[in-house]
Amino acid sequence: MDAVSVLSGVFGFREFRGGQRAAVEAVLEGKDAVVLLPTGAGKSLCYQVPAVALARRGLGTTIVVSPLIALMIDQVAGLTARGIAAAALHSHQDDDEQRAVIDQLLRGQLAVLYVSPERAVKESFQRLLRRTRIALFAIDEAHCVSEWGHDFRPEYMQLRALRDVVDVPTIALTATATPRVLAEIAASLHLRAPATVRGDFRRPNLAFEVQHLRGDEARFAATIEALEGAGLRATGGGRAIVYCATRKKTEAVAERLKQAGFAAAHYHAGRTALARDRAQRGFSSSRTRVLVATSAFGMGVDYPDVRVIVHFQAPGSLEAYYQEAGRASRDGAAGRCVLLFGAADLVTQRRLAERGGTGARREDALASIERYASAARCRQQLLCAHFTGTDDHPACGTCDACVDPAAVRTRRIEARETPTPARATLSSSQQQLILDAVAALRRPIGKLNLAKALRGSTCKAMHAHGLLHLPQHGALRDTGEAELVAQIEQLIAEKRLARRGRKYPTVSLPGPRSARRGDPVRSRGFIKTSNITIELETYRKRMARQLRWKAYMVFQRGVIAAIDRARPTTHEALARIPGLGPAKIARFGDDILALVRRHAP
């Protein structure tokens, strides 16, 4: 029986997906194989089709090593439903159940048997293998052999012993395809000249994005914005996963999201089996729309409609990130993967990583995620290059670096193009302007004065509060006062701004005052801004008016900050300012240099 007839006759699929045919053919030719395919690409089929074909030829049972019991149970159910004799041996079965499976195995009735790595390396299990006919070993999630990886399982290192018991072909499968992990898999499992099948790691339907944020408040706001953008507050389809680095954080974030009106739950390995089960089932049935989880959630999960994956904190490696983010929109519809990144995340990961791997390995993995977060090139290109070791992937056109390279280069959230929340009347960059204005305040002011300042008012209160020097003074001149106040109120409702005080309520950034962002510069009345920054801001506004551009199109606020820090005096120095390309230097360069020179000490 050939592979294609198994595929259609048993599995009901019309054709192989990319990579599957090559993997199946290699195995049926008796070769070893390593299959590197992204999550959701269909790795299971790469050993299941040969397993059926081999069993029908009377060549015996395929032994599948799989690290998760839940996954085994799912797979066995799926195979059984297709009329394939499949079973699993795991610690959740009682003695009778296990004996029944062993009986079937010894009678040669099973096409596929799933076992945990712990079971597979046991002497008692290996004795069973000697007493029956084995056709193939399949090692699923094979990156677990790698100490470099994020799912290291010590038992995986001993799986090579299976080969000594019965010498049949071995197929290893993983979604982690870095050259190093590949080499470790082949070496650790003693694979012999394995056929290597490498899939397409691009996910054209996913929009990758990184936001550099400090502090939980900003991260809450960004998370809520991403969830709202995907319509997760409204009724309707779609789910989201919010990944956190620590168990404690999953609880805090889930709590916060519930308060904000989302159907959220949390999941981590420290919860009871019952609680985890309940969380997972709620998410499966879409009663829970947002699952806040540690990396303990997700291996092998396959939900088609997870529209957003937010990493509230950065994971410990790019492999872990891509594997988790890759769970978005498996059905091919548009999805969004947002990594919230701050230097504190690396500290957290170092603290967490004490158990696995040496310092050098850990640092290496952390460096990869940091590189990803701070790169200015297409995110998918970078991911694909990392995972395949080749650098010939086209830009995706949908990630933040493709859509708005200047914004990414300056690593500011200001101009990021995000779906605007339903109730917002101002664009996200205009909203960011408001937030920037508040960030520039040394002391909080009332929302009406804030609105007036943004509209460029010169009334007495503006003088009194020093608001004429606010860099954003007049930046939203064309917006109505009522509209602005409404927008400020909405930002407060979204907890992106905080309201303080009862009698004379003022607005400020959420969180403790010390956690505010903004460059430490000379303070001046209510505003903490340097003279260069103020003048550049004025210049930017003037040019924007002249050119009929938006101010951020002249250059971004991050560029102003960078100029203020670097104080460039030559065109060469200007060219090193991120976010100022040659076109802008040609147009504005001389003015900027003159402006900086005026402030030279």
Name the residues that contact Mg ion, by CB under 5 A: 43
Site for Zn ion in 400-419 (CB under 5 A): 402
- Is residue 144 a contact residue for Zn ion (CB under 5 A)? no
Q: Which does 230 bind (CB under 5 to 8 A by kind): ligand ADP, Mg ion, Zn ion, none?
A: none
CB-based closest residue to Mg ion = 43
- Is residue 384 a contact residue for Zn ion (CB under 5 A)? no
Q: Closest by alpha carbon to 280, among 69, 560, 136, 10?
A: 69
Q: Closest by alpha carbon to 150, among 178, 116, 187, 114?
A: 178
Pick the stretch among 42-50, 148-156, 394-402, 461-469 that binds ligand ADP (CB under 6 A).
Answer: 42-50
Is the separation of the CB atoms in 449 and 465 below 8 Å? yes
Q: Closest by alpha carbon to 310, among 375, 234, 225?
A: 225
Size of site (CB under 5 A) for Zn ion: 6
**Token match 């990021």: residue?**
416
CB 121 → Mg ion: shortest distance, Å?
21
Buried b / exposed e over 395-432, threshold 16 CB at 10 Å, is: ebebbbbbbbbbbbbbbbbbbbebebbeebebebbbbb
- Is residue 203 a contact residue for ligand ADP (CB under 6 A)? no
Is the separation of the CB atoms in 109 and 59 below 8 Å? no
* Cβ-based nearer residue to Mg ion, 185 or 434: 185
* Cβ-based nearer residue to ligand ADP, 177 or 451: 177
* Cβ-based nearer residue to ligand ADP, 18 or 421: 18
- Is residue 152 a contact residue for ligand ADP (CB under 6 A)? no
Q: Which are the contacts of 519, defined by CB distance < 8 A and separation ≥ 6?
A: 533, 561, 564, 565
Is the separation of the CB atoms in 92 and 45 below 8 Å? no
Q: Closest by alpha carbon to 376, among 402, 338, 340, 343?
A: 402
Q: Which are the contacts of 333, defined by CB distance < 8 A and separation ≥ 6?
A: 205, 305, 307
Pick the stretch among 59-67, 182-190, 318-326, 397-405 that binds Zn ion (CB under 5 A).
Answer: 397-405
- Is residue 13 a contact residue for ligand ADP (CB under 6 A)? yes
Pick the stretch among 34-42, 130-138, 163-171, 239-247 that binds ligand ADP (CB under 6 A).
Answer: 34-42
Is the separation of the CB atoms in 254 and 279 below 8 Å? no
- Interface residue with ligand ADP among 24, 39, 266, 299 (CB under 6 A) is 39
- Interface residue with ligand ADP among 23, 27, 36, 41 (CB under 6 A) is 41
DSSP secondary structure code for residue 168 in this structure: -
Is the separation of the CB atoms in 302 and 323 below 8 Å? no
Site for ligand ADP in 295-324 (CB under 6 A): 302
* Cβ-based nearer residue to Zn ion, 3 or 402: 402
Size of site (CB under 6 A) for ligand ADP: 13
* Cβ-based nearer residue to ligand ADP, 182 or 454: 182
Q: At residue 512, what are phi and psi to the nearest 5 degrees?
A: -60, 150
- Is residue 336 a contact residue for ligand ADP (CB under 6 A)? no
CB 409 → Zn ion: shortest distance, Å?
14
- Is residue 19 a contact residue for ligand ADP (CB under 6 A)? no
Q: Under the rule (CB under 6 A), what is the footprint of ligand ADP?
A: 13, 16-17, 20, 37, 39-45, 302
Q: Under the rule (CB under 5 A), what is the footprint of Zn ion?
A: 378, 380, 395-396, 399, 402
